[in-house]
Structures are given as C-alpha cells and as structure tokens.
Amino acid sequence: MKRAIAALAVLAIAGTTAGQCESTKSAKACTQGEAYEGAAVLASYVQPEMNLVETAVSAGSFETLVAAVKAAGLVDALSGEKPMTVFAPTDEAFAKLPKGTVEMLLKPENKDLLKSILLYHVVPGDVRAEQVVDLKAAQTANGQRIAIHVDNGKVRVDEANVIKTDILTSNGTIHVIDRVIMPSTKDIVDTALENGSFGTLVAAVKAAGLVEALKAEGPITVFAPTDEAFAKLPKGTVEMLLKPENKDKLTSILTYHVVKGRVYADQALEAGEAKTLQGGEVQIRVKNGKPMVNDAQILTTDIDASNGVIHVIDTVIMPSE
C-alpha cells in the first residue's frame, strides 16, 4: 500500500512539474529533466522500499549489470543495510566492451576479476549528486580510487559520463553511467615493469627476493624511485647493493620505501609520517610547494595497482643505520 501511494505521489509531482515546463521545452526533455528532479525531491520525504539490486532489476536497463552481480556473488552485499553508492553502467555501456568480454567475465573461473570490476563501481556511503560534483576522487569498495571530473556541469567518472543521478533506494543511491569503468588489474611489480621508468628498482626487487612480497594481495604503498633517482647515488652503489652478499642491506633499503595499506597522497600528507615495512618512519610534508617524502620529491602520485598504490619519487631514500 505504501509503495502504491508513493508511486502515485511521484507521478503526481512529476506530472505537475512537466506541466510547468511544457510551454518552454519538449515533453521529453521535461520528463528527463524537471520531472525527474520533482520525483527526487519527493523521494527525500518518502523512504524507497526497494534496495539497490531490486531497483536495478525493476529498471529494466541494467540486465547485464544484474547478471554480473549475481555471477560475482554480490547480491547480498548490495542488498544489505550499509549505505552504498553505485555508478551503474547500462546494458548499452556493457555492449561497448570488446566483443566477448562480458561472456568471459561471467565465467565461474573469472569470478574474482568480475567482483573486482563491479566493486570498482561501488562507493561506500550514500553520495548524492550535489556531493559528487565537489569531489575529485572517491575510494571504491574495490580499494582503488575513481577519478571524478566536472566540466561545464557534466560529470565524468574515470572515462564514463554520468547520464542520470540520484536514483534513490532503501540502502543507497544509483548514478547511471554510459561506460563500464575498469580498475587496475596489474600488481605493483607488473605496474612498475609496464611503466618503463623503474628498471633499476625492479632489478633491485628481484635481487632482494621481494618480488612475491610486492605481488601479494596487500594492499601496500610504494614510494618508487625512478631510474634517474638510482643514478643519483654515488658511483658503484647500485652495483654493490645488487651483489648477493649485500642482500640484507638492499632489502632494508627497499622495504624502507614500502608502507602497509593503500595510502593516497592526500592521506599521506595529512598523516605527516608513515611507518615502513623496514621498521623506520618516513616524513611526508610539503616543502616549497612540493610534496616530499624525507628528502625526495614526489613526482607523480596515486598510481593505482591491483594490490596497492605507487608514488613516484626522484631520490632513493635511505633508512638510518
């Protein structure tokens, strides 16, 4: 009964609003614009009864998304009481993926990958459109961050356009997007290899026997010195460190560049310091307008990897003896 009354009230407000704008624009534009806003206003007074999953099912525009949520085993997670925000790709958005991608992701052996992709579309908490436009990024349930861009009133999430906002449900809000957004699927080591600027770092990681540790689930944060950073060390230092007999010293230096957890630049600067896997602490601050970790300048921040985040630095930082 409550649902029926709420639905009639939504139609009444939507119809009234449509009538008010009919004289200046098409009925279609009005229905998509002001009428929708009228329904959203009402929804702030009437608590929706359908949860995120039920709302997506009833909409009829998210059949692929719903099938993916079921295949990933996320129905219960998205039907719970904790508020969530979902950037929901339409069926047309999934159709833009390379041929065979959806079918591949729906296979049982790819469940973990599918789950990671879907959780990248979910932000903990109920985040409405008026809040989204004030954000530059948002951390997802996947752990990685999505980038948010606002240009001329249009909102983009990574490379996707937000085409409808504030579909309210009993446990959160849905914003509709026109593309499936993809998290990083490469780990810290593979991300560094692909970048091409960390040849010395990767060689050092291998020599220290840390490859598996940096490829593990994590998450971890790495302050990654470039090849140019290693080249600043006194002549012969790198060659000396790569010798088997100096493995412990090399390990100490490398783990001094690693912090537990996925720590983004703004979080690191706010904390001001961080304990490293080596055991010592690094100081993080802004000096002369430049972000620094100890005496190294942070050149590039927030490179996401599947198991953590990389910040690129211009100097190898050394632990205390």
Nearest to 10 by CA among 32, 49, 29, 36: 36
Residue 114 has pLDDT above 50, yes or no: yes
Q: How far is the first Cα of the chain from the last one, in angstroms, to the nearest whole number?
A: 73
Q: In this predicted structure, what is the pLDDT of residue 253?
A: 98
pLDDT tens digit sequence for 176-210: 999 999 999 999 999 999 988 999 999 999 999 99
Mention every residue, 6+ apart, whose C-beta is less than 8 A from residue 108: 71
Token duo for residue 306:
């599947």
Task: Dump pLDDT digits (tens) for 34-73.
Answer: 434 444 444 444 568 899 999 999 999 999 999 999 999 9
| Token output for 150 | 């606002």
Give the CATH superfamily of 48-177: FAS1 domain (2.30.180.10)
Q: How far apart are CA 127 and CA 174, in angstroms?
A: 9
pLDDT at residue number 151: 87
pTM: 0.80
Which runs of consecutive H residues, i.e. helices, occur in 161-290?
Answer: 188-195, 199-207, 211-215, 227-231, 237-241, 247-255, 265-271
Tell me which residue of 119, 114, 78 sits closest to 97, measured CA to CA: 114
Q: Which residues are registered as beta bridge partners of 312? A: 224, 300
Domains 48-177 and 188-313 belong to one CATH topology = yes
Domain ranges within the chain, ordered by starting residue: 1-46, 48-177, 188-313
* Assigned CATH class of 188-313: mainly beta
